[in-house]
């Protein structure tokens, strides 16, 4: 019949093996959590720098609109919200981008639309221009007399805006009413008969000074957004790493306590 010492050793061996495996897995998980937290710290710094650049960019002096040769190399990080100055004339036609303006800078807000109209530059390029906000009940031009754009040559200043990309939840455009739910410069332009390589892959939001005398469309209502959840992610990943350490320490202390008790019982 095996002795109590042999029985104690046989119970202790698998326990030690389990503790080693648990330690290795815990170390791997801890390293992954630390890596994710550190990556989010880096992303946080990048996002704060980007927000700072955007805030400074909005109030910068306008620059000339880049031409087609430069379009493939334009990045949202460097160009979004940059003031652009361009001369030319507005073309006929409007399309509408649904928006709920909760914090308007002008007199009107709530559910409504940004009014987009094609603008032909002196170089023959076409860019879709957001002329401003109109309430839901005044989407169509006949409901807002005096809102027409200047017919002749003019110079405008607007903020460069990137295209948007929808997902499986995004509503398809209502082509019958020319209403869009994501901003797509070339699709909007195509609906008004403007197609080709001369159509810019971005849009311009007119600044507030271009609001017509009648008040609509209400220009200068660019929504400046820059979601920053990286601090939350930093706290989450580092917090999980800390929790893992606490759980591991508690488990090991209990494991060693049971081993000590078993050793004492085997001696008895």
Residue with tokens 């029985």: 7
Residue 252 pLDDT:
84
Residue 97 pLDDT:
98
- Number of alpha carbons in the 13 Å side-chain half-sphere of residue 257: 6
> Of 51, 86, 36, nearest to 66 (Cα)?
86
The pLDDT averaged over each successive group of 10 residues in the chain (268 residues) is 52 66 89 90 74 77 96 92 97 97 93 98 97 97 94 95 89 96 97 96 97 95 77 88 90 74 57
- Number of alpha carbons in the 13 Å side-chain half-sphere of residue 194: 26
In whole angstroms, give the CA distance from residue 172 to residue 175.
9
Residue 6 pLDDT:
52
Residue 41 pLDDT:
85
In whole angstroms, give the CA distance from residue 209 to residue 248.
63
In whole angstroms, give the CA distance from residue 151 to residue 180.
25
Residue 43 pLDDT:
75
In whole angstroms, give the CA distance from residue 268 to residue 263.
9
């Amino acid at each position: 019949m095996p002795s109590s010492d042999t029985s104690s050793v046989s119970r202790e061996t698998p326990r030690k093996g389990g503790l080693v495996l648990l330690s290795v897995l815990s170390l791997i998980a801890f390293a992954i959590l630390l890596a994710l937290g550190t990556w989010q710290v880096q992303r946080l710094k990048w996002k704060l720098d980007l927000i700072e650049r955007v805030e400074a960019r909005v109030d910068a002096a306008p620059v000339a609109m880049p031409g087609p040769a430069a379009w493939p190399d334009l990045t949202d990080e460097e160009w979004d919200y940059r003031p652009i100055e361009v001369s030319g004339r507005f073309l006929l036609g409007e399309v509408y981008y649904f928006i709920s303006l909760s914090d308007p800078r002008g007199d009107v807000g709530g559910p409504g639309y940004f009014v987009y109209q094609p603008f032909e530059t002196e170089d023959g390029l076409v860019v879709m221009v957001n002329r401003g906000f109109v309430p839901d009940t005044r989407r169509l031009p006949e409901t807002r007399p005096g809102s027409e754009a200047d017919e002749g040559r003019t110079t405008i200043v607007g903020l460069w805006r990137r295209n948007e990309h929808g997902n499986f939840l995004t509503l398809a455009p209502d082509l019958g009413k020319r209403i869009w739910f994501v901003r797509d410069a070339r699709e909007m332009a195509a609906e008004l008969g403007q197609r080709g390589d001369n159509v810019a892959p971005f849009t311009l939001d007119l600044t507030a000074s271009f609001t017509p005398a009648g008040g609509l469309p209400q220009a200068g209502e660019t929504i400046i957004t820059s979601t920053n959840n990286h601090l939350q992610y930093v706290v989450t990943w580092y917090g999980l790493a800390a929790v893992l350490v606490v759980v591991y320490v508690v488990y090991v202390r209990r494991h060693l306590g049971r081993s000590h008790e078993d050793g004492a019982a085997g001696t008895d």
